[in-house]
Structure 1
Amino acid sequence: MRVLGLMSGTSHDGIDTAIVDWTPAGGVLTGTILATGERPYPDGLRARIVAALPPGEVGMGEVCALDTLIGQEFAEAARTAGPADLICSHGQTLFHWVSGGGVLGTLQLGQPAWIAERTGLPVVSDLRVRDVAAGGNGAPLVSYLDLLMLNGLGGRAGALNLGGIANLTVAGAAIAYDTGPACALIDAAAPPYDEDGVLGAAGKIDERLLAELLAEPYYALEPPKTTGKELFTASYVKETQLSRADLVATLTALTAETVAAEIRRHALDTVVVSGGGVRNPTLMGMLRERTAARLVLSDELGVPADAKEAIAFSLFGWLTAHGLPATVPSCTGAVGARVLGTITPGSGPLVLPEPLAEAPVAIRFL
């Protein structure tokens, strides 16, 4: 089954796409990656998304407009991605309702009816909320793919995604959680992003400010836990007298130190890294300075670093279509594993494959 995964993360810069042909056999799920790509958001829409993020306040009219406009952009990304049998769309997270140490709700916009109407294909969407309803954090969902991908690596292995927010999955312990910001604060200080880590490399780390930022209570919370731009808002970068280069260098060091601290905590010796942050050599260099773990790009395991989350959502679509759960309760904090999402039919009758009795225990990519 060819499943198109659509993903836009906490960097909200565009829509990542991945078409994967999934074939199960003997407990091993083989994914043949047929195509990957990215569709940037139009500047005007991206500005409206940014304005709607916390601490911004918008009315229901703007929420309705964003749901439609984002849905139309996802629909166009799907239409031009290539042939598929099913689409799985993450949408765009606008709010993750965290209170009292738990997640009470989550909101992803991007109306799937636009995708189904434009492509004629059924669409799995709204995946995170089922895990939240089961008492989970709704994140990091990618831990399901991570644990399959890490299976067989040996040693103490982990998977790290450096998107807007950084998340870490630890094999063996089977836990996963958001460590804190990855590129979110760096991007806010050097919009749209610090290309090639140039500003971070040119600046000097302000140790006093870094110490203040490291005192954020979130870092001391025990997993499972999740965070987002509701906590790490742009206000982090506005109240400072530092030069922009020094601020970017300090925020890059914040990401490196908070991630490295968790790698050291679990004594990991191999970490598979993905996400846009791998393209920032300054961030990767600071991370290597702070940990003895071997950092391996997910590309070496057959998963393009820039498309890993879109590939994960392709996997989730395949799992949902076959009646299989796509969550790991020890990673999200839910009371049990759940089949994720809702399904919007395409242009014809909704026909799903026969449910599978057993989930895959290993994964490989071609």
Structure 2
Amino acid sequence: MRVIGLISGTSVDGIDAALVEITGREWDLEVELLAAQTYPYPGGLREQILGVCAGDALSMAELASLDDAIATAFADAAIRIQADHQNAQLIGSHGQTVYHRPPDTTPHHLGYSLQLGRGALIAHLTNITTVSNFRAADIQEGGQGAPLVPKVDVCLLSHPQRHRCIQNLGGIGNVAYLPPSHSHQLIQGWDTGPGNALLDLAVQHLSNGTQTYDQDGAWAATGKPCQPLVAKWLQHPFFHQAPPKSTGRELFGVEYFQQCLIDGREWNLKDADLLATLTELTVASIALGYQKFLPAMPSEVLLCGGGSRNLYLRSRLAAILQLPVMTTDEVGLNGDFKEAIAFAVLAYWRQLGIPGNLPECTGARQAIPLGDIHPKGL
């Protein structure tokens, strides 16, 4: 089946679209990437989304308009990615997360996660059956609704002998721990904390809005991390909370960054030193999570997501972990579009009635097919 996967992550960099050919059913899955592209949001839409994520108030009419604008942009991405290819038979659209609240310890208190870009409109505009709202079913079962990609990682990235960590570095970082492929019962996964979110906020602030990210980590590489400040930041309860756990910009967003700025001024950090220190927080929080919560350290770490292109971050992670750190590209899976590929697979499984979540990663009571199906127009 030809399936399109669509997602815009917590960095709100644009819509990642992947057109794939899927064969097999579940653990025998095979995926061929036919086309992949990132489509920027139309002018002003990214800023509006970031504003909502930061707490800007919306009327219900404005929320409906934003939902439709995002869906229209996603539908346009799905149409454009099919150029020069046979039409897809299915779309899996994650949408754009604008709010995520994990479940707490209160009895019967479910989590809440809102993704805009309604699947019904995407199906209507593309005339392709669309699966969306993937997180709701896991949350209904008491889960975090995240991370949802580890089962796909198991199918596409497990190794017969090696213990692997697949570390995604979007706005928020998340890990899937894959023991050798004969030991599926030991799989784990959780959100590790900030990925690029704080770094991007810092770059935008320090450059007065002229830059949106630190390409290759070149700016941060000219600075020196303030280790006492990293140690202070690592005292945050999230880093010590046992999995399953998830987070978002609600915790590691604008308000958190403003406190980081204050802390940096108290230590008289130069701009490059602040970037290096925020990079070290991402790296150190990943390492701390591995050390505290994994049954064993991995043989190797495979990076994916936008942060995998940050050469400084990658070198710091390899230095702290003392492990080989590569990208998923180096083992045959495109790291820039792995999340989009994953939601194509989750939509494919939803059509077949196959569960897409792993309860050991999300905390759900049971494995369950994920997503709402919106049939194409007649």
One fold, TM greater than 0.5? yes
**Cα distance between partner residues in 2 of 1:103 and 1:245:** 41
2:374 maps to 1:344: yes
**Cα distance between partner residues in 1 of 2:158 and 2:310:** 27
2:89 maps to 1:89: no
2:278 corresponds to which letter in structure 1?
L
- Which of 337, 341, 344 aligns to 1:311? It is 341
Preserved contact between residue 26 and residue 349 of structure 2 (Cα < 8 Å): no
**Residue aligning to 2:245:** 225
Preserved contact between residue 203 and residue 213 of structure 2 (Cα < 8 Å): yes
Preserved contact between residue 237 and residue 247 of structure 1 (Cα < 8 Å): no
**Residue aligning to 2:207:** none
Deviates most, 186-195 or 216-225:
186-195
1:258 corresponds to which letter in structure 2?
S
2:90 corresponds to which letter in structure 1?
L
Using the TM superposition, give the Cα deviation of residue 152 of structure 1 relative to its aligned residue in structure 2, in angstroms: 2.8
Percent identity reads 40
Give the length in aligned residue pairs.
348
**Residue aligning to 1:274:** 304
Using the TM superposition, give the Cα deviation of residue 81 of structure 1 relative to its aligned residue in structure 2, in angstroms: 0.8
2:286 maps to 1:259: yes
**Cα distance between partner residues in 2 of 1:299 and 1:121:** 29
Preserved contact between residue 104 and residue 111 of structure 2 (Cα < 8 Å): no
User: In the superposition, relative to structure 1, how do residues 42 and 202 fare at CA in structure 2: closer, same or farther (>3 Å)?
Assistant: farther
2:188 corresponds to which letter in structure 1?
I
Preserved contact between residue 7 and residue 16 of structure 2 (Cα < 8 Å): yes
- Which of 284, 289, 294 aligns to 2:319? It is 289
Preserved contact between residue 167 and residue 178 of structure 1 (Cα < 8 Å): yes
More strand by share: 1
**Cα distance between partner residues in 1 of 2:91 and 2:243:** 31
Using the TM superposition, give the Cα deviation of residue 94 of structure 1 relative to its aligned residue in structure 2, in angstroms: 0.5
**Cα distance between partner residues in 2 of 1:25 and 1:217:** 40
SS at match of 2:176: strand
Using the TM superposition, give the Cα deviation of residue 114 of structure 1 relative to its aligned residue in structure 2, in angstroms: 2.7
CA RMSD of aligned residues (A): 1.7
**Residue aligning to 2:149:** 142
Using the TM superposition, give the Cα deviation of residue 215 of structure 1 relative to its aligned residue in structure 2, in angstroms: 1.1
2:31 maps to 1:31: yes
User: In the superposition, relative to structure 1, how do residues 131 and 142 fare at CA in structure 2: closer, same or farther (>3 Å)?
Assistant: same
2:192 maps to 1:182: no
Unpaired segments ≥5 residues, structure 1 = 349-366
SS at match of 1:313: helix
2:163 maps to 1:156: yes
**Cα distance between partner residues in 2 of 1:68 and 1:256:** 37
SS at match of 1:268: coil
Using the TM superposition, give the Cα deviation of residue 272 of structure 1 relative to its aligned residue in structure 2, in angstroms: 1.7
**TM-score, normalised via structure 1 length:** 0.91
Using the TM superposition, give the Cα deviation of residue 25 of structure 1 relative to its aligned residue in structure 2, in angstroms: 7.2
1:257 corresponds to which letter in structure 2?
A
Using the TM superposition, give the Cα deviation of residue 49 of structure 1 relative to its aligned residue in structure 2, in angstroms: 0.5
Preserved contact between residue 136 and residue 329 of structure 1 (Cα < 8 Å): yes
Using the TM superposition, give the Cα deviation of residue 99 of structure 1 relative to its aligned residue in structure 2, in angstroms: 5.0
**Cα distance between partner residues in 2 of 1:203 and 1:6:** 36
**Residue aligning to 2:58:** 58
Using the TM superposition, give the Cα deviation of residue 153 of structure 1 relative to its aligned residue in structure 2, in angstroms: 4.0
1:20 corresponds to which letter in structure 2?
V
User: Deviations 1:241-280 (Å, cap 9, x if unpaired)?
Assistant: 2332221111001001111223344311112211110111
Using the TM superposition, give the Cα deviation of residue 30 of structure 1 relative to its aligned residue in structure 2, in angstroms: 1.4
Preserved contact between residue 29 and residue 155 of structure 2 (Cα < 8 Å): no
Preserved contact between residue 165 and residue 175 of structure 2 (Cα < 8 Å): yes
**TM-score, normalised via structure 2 length:** 0.88
**Cα distance between partner residues in 2 of 1:29 and 1:131:** 22
User: In the superposition, relative to structure 1, how do residues 222 and 281 fare at CA in structure 2: closer, same or farther (>3 Å)?
Assistant: same
User: In the superposition, relative to structure 1, how do residues 63 and 218 fare at CA in structure 2: closer, same or farther (>3 Å)?
Assistant: same
2:20 maps to 1:16: no
Preserved contact between residue 112 and residue 123 of structure 1 (Cα < 8 Å): yes
**Cα distance between partner residues in 1 of 2:282 and 2:241:** 17
Using the TM superposition, give the Cα deviation of residue 72 of structure 1 relative to its aligned residue in structure 2, in angstroms: 0.8
Preserved contact between residue 203 and residue 246 of structure 1 (Cα < 8 Å): yes
**Residue aligning to 1:208:** 228
Preserved contact between residue 264 and residue 291 of structure 1 (Cα < 8 Å): no
SS at match of 2:345: helix
**Residue aligning to 1:198:** 218
**Cα distance between partner residues in 2 of 1:235 and 1:247:** 16
Deviates most, 195-204 or 182-191:
195-204
Unpaired segments ≥5 residues, structure 2 = 180-185, 205-211
1:13 corresponds to which letter in structure 2?
D
Using the TM superposition, give the Cα deviation of residue 26 of structure 1 relative to its aligned residue in structure 2, in angstroms: 9.7
User: In the superposition, relative to structure 1, how do residues 307 and 320 fare at CA in structure 2: closer, same or farther (>3 Å)?
Assistant: same
User: In the superposition, relative to structure 1, how do residues 132 and 287 fare at CA in structure 2: closer, same or farther (>3 Å)?
Assistant: same
**Cα distance between partner residues in 2 of 1:308 and 1:99:** 27
Preserved contact between residue 103 and residue 143 of structure 2 (Cα < 8 Å): no
2:313 corresponds to which letter in structure 1?
L
**Cα distance between partner residues in 2 of 1:198 and 1:135:** 42
